[in-house]
C-alpha cells in the first residue's frame, strides 16, 4: 500500500513541477512567453492555475497519507527506560571501541591507567657533586 502511495506521490510531484514551469510569469516562464499561440490566452492561465491548485492539494493529501502509514509501523519506545544499549564488542572488521569496551572513558580516567594504579613519579633533580670540581687539563 505504501509503495503505491509513494509512486502516486512522485507522479504528482513531477506533474506539479511541469505545471508550475508552464505557467507564464512576469519574466516569461521558461522563455516561452513571446508571441501568440496556445499558451498565451487568459483562459489557459486560469486552467493552469486551477491545475496547480488541484495538484498541490493532492500532493498535501498524499504527504499526510504517507505520514499516517509510516506511523502505523512504528512501535512506541522510550529512550529513558528500557532502551537497548550498544554492543560491548565491536562488529567484525569494524574499528575497536574508543573506551576499550569496559565501562566508560570517564570511569577509566577516574580509576587510572589499566595496569598501573599509582600516578607516575615526578622526575628527580640531578644529584649534586660530592666534592669540589677540578677541571682536568690535557
Q: Dump pLDDT digits (tens) for 51-92.
A: 999 999 999 999 999 999 988 877 777 778 754 555 556 556
To the nearest 10 degrees (0 to 180), the angle between helices 42-72 and 2-22 is: 160
| pLDDT value of position 64 | 96
Rounded to whole angstroms, what are the CA distances from 9 to 14, 23, 69, 90, 137? 9, 21, 13, 40, 98
Nearest to 69 by CA among 11, 1, 137, 138: 1
Sketch the domain layout of the chain as residue ranges. 2-28+45-72
| pLDDT value of position 89 | 60
> What's the whole-number average pLDDT of the chain?
73
Give the pLDDT confidence of 26-49 residue by residue, as tens digits.
655 555 555 555 555 556 678 888
- pTM (2 decimals)? 0.45
| pLDDT value of position 99 | 47
Q: What percentage of residues in the chain have a pLDDT greater than 90?
A: 27
Q: Are the C-beta atoms of 5 and 65 separated by less than 8 Å?
A: yes
- Mean pLDDT value across residues 122-131: 65
Amino acid at each position: 500500500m505504501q509503495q503505491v502511495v509513494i509512486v502516486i506521490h512522485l507522479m504528482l510531484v513531477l506533474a506539479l513541477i511541469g505545471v508550475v514551469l508552464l505557467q507564464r510569469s512576469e519574466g516569461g516562464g521558461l522563455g516561452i512567453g513571446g508571441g501568440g499561440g496556445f499558451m498565451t490566452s487568459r483562459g489557459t492561465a486560469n486552467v493552469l492555475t486551477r491545475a496547480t491548485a488541484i495538484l498541490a492539494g493532492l500532493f498535501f493529501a498524499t504527504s499526510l497519507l504517507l505520514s499516517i502509514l509510516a506511523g502505523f509501523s512504528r512501535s512506541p519506545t522510550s529512550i529513558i527506560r528500557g532502551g537497548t544499549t550498544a554492543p560491548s564488542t565491536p562488529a567484525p572488521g569494524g574499528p575497536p571501541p574508543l573506551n576499550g569496551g569496559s565501562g566508560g572513558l570517564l570511569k577509566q580516567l577516574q580509576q587510572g591507567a589499566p595496569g598501573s594504579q599509582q600516578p607516575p613519579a615526578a622526575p628527580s633533580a640531578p644529584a649534586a657533586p660530592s666534592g669540589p670540581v677540578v677541571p682536568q687539563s690535557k
